[in-house]
Chains A and B, each alone.
Chain A
Amino acid sequence: MKILKLHKEVISNLNPQKKRNSMSGNMNIKLKVWRQKNSNSKGELVNYKVSEVSPDMSFLEMFDMLNETLINEKKEPIAFDHDCREGICGMCSMFINGRPHGPNDAVTTCQLHMRSFKDGDTIVVEPWRASAFPILKDLIVDRSSFDRIISAGGFISVNTGNAQDANCLPIGKNEADESFAAAACIGCGACVAACKNSSAMLFVSAKVSQLALLPQGKPERHQRVLNMVAQMDSEGFGACTNTGACEAECPKEISLSNIARMNREYLSAKLCSEIE
């Protein structure tokens, strides 16, 4: 009988749903959130309390809950960026407790769950800070500087007509893998947010690498790296000190080796090509 009871207890402990229902594992969270009316106004950190937060909620769902309360109280909800909510669009920019996308490695904010926090925690949420990412409202920043870098060279030129047979272009397995890994970048800007220099090197180097490694990207490789670096500099991103903060915070684990590759691409474009 005793063993059976013990067994039941163990089973109920193993089943988190049951355990939580029985003793309500919901949390009370204190928030300090950056509020700013528009690009020109001065912002400030504002205190909020969110109660009955389920540990299974995503961080953004917790914000939805807070916003619903604010709307019910006829207050202005907190503006924040989000779209896919599954870690692929790169929109959910939030600097949480001093780290982009919060305390966990290799996830976006939408993939961060409240179980990563404790009941009673105070969480500070700020927007990405960079002069190249001006704040539009609250936690939303304007990342169109990334778009302009892509327009400057993050593409290949293709003639119209029939697509050629894919097997006509032999690509080494290693190059294909490395290119694919670089292509995983979702343009979220966490690298810029984490870097003490607000440098965009990891993002730009991922885009440069992705194309430079493939035969389709080779014809324009010199022009591409020169144009993209020039655009990156003119947008006001800082230079790279190789601290490695970007790689550590990147939700897609883009490697620093891409930055070295971009340095090589840049040097070879400057030294070997005749492009001004």
Chain B
Amino acid sequence: MNWILKMFQSSLGQKLLMALTGLFLISFLLVHCGINALIFFNDGGEMFNKGAEFMGTNFLIRAVEIFLFAGIILHAVQGFSLTFKNQKARPIKYAVNNGNANSKWYSRSMGLLGTLLLMFLIIHLRHFWVVSRFTDEITSGKETLFNEMKEVFENPWVVFIYVLAMISLAYHLLHGFQSSFQTLGLNHKRYTPIIRVLGICFSIVIPTIFALMPIAIHFDFIK
């Protein structure tokens, strides 16, 4: 077992963990976005509540949820660890550094974008996950998750924070999606251009759909 620990302590091993957990989070985003997009049926949240109930009560999904939290924590811990180690590798900065000449700003700001995402996740979990799991608001039938959503998104500041977070997510993924394949060693003249295009599409489409949810609810497009 020692070899596994040793591997994940090396710089390449740490990045491997980032890539694997990152891709896992990407797959989660797809499911999460799909279920939540049910609100766009605009049927008073009927479809959405059914989907949410299935996700909340299905044994398999609940089991995967544990992995999801482990994945987020692992991704964040490794992310911070790498960011600090990387900063230590250049203790004295350049007086003049023209980073834009050779790389994209968001690829150089993954730590910052990730930190914003982590802060958002805490707020987001407090809004919905804590309410649905640790209070009896929803299980008792007093409230539905859809109504909870409408209440939360009444506040324009909340909408603003959610939209800002989705912009951070878009940039995090714009670099992260293709980067994770490179980290896993998957780079090929034939497939890499496809992965890049797929990554750009994912990074724009998914966060946009997510961002439209609080906006649509706040402005009563969805009732």
Binding site for B on A (CB under 8 A): 32, 34, 45, 95, 97-99, 103, 124, 126, 129-132, 194, 196-199, 229-230, 232-233, 236-245, 248-249, 256-257, 259-264, 266-267, 270, 276
Contact = CB atoms under 8 A, between A and B. Distances in A.
Given A233-B11, A245-B102, A261-B185, A238 B97 contact: no
Contacts of A229: 10-12
Contacts of A131: 88-91
Contact of B11 (A97, A196, A238, A245): A238
B15 interface: yes
A194 B108 CA distance: 12
A245 B14 contact: no
Interface in B1-42: 2-3, 7, 10-16
Interface residues on B, range: 35 or more
A126 B108 CA distance: 21
Nearest to A248: B102
B86 A239 contact: yes
A241 B126 CA distance: 31
B193 to A, nearest CB: 12
Given A129-B90, A244-B103, A97 B108 contact: no
Contacts of B10: 229-230, 233
B89 A124 contact: no
Contacts of B14: 239
A221 to B, nearest CB: 14
A124 to B, nearest CB: 5
B98 interface: yes
A82 to B, nearest CB: 21
A241 B99 contact: no
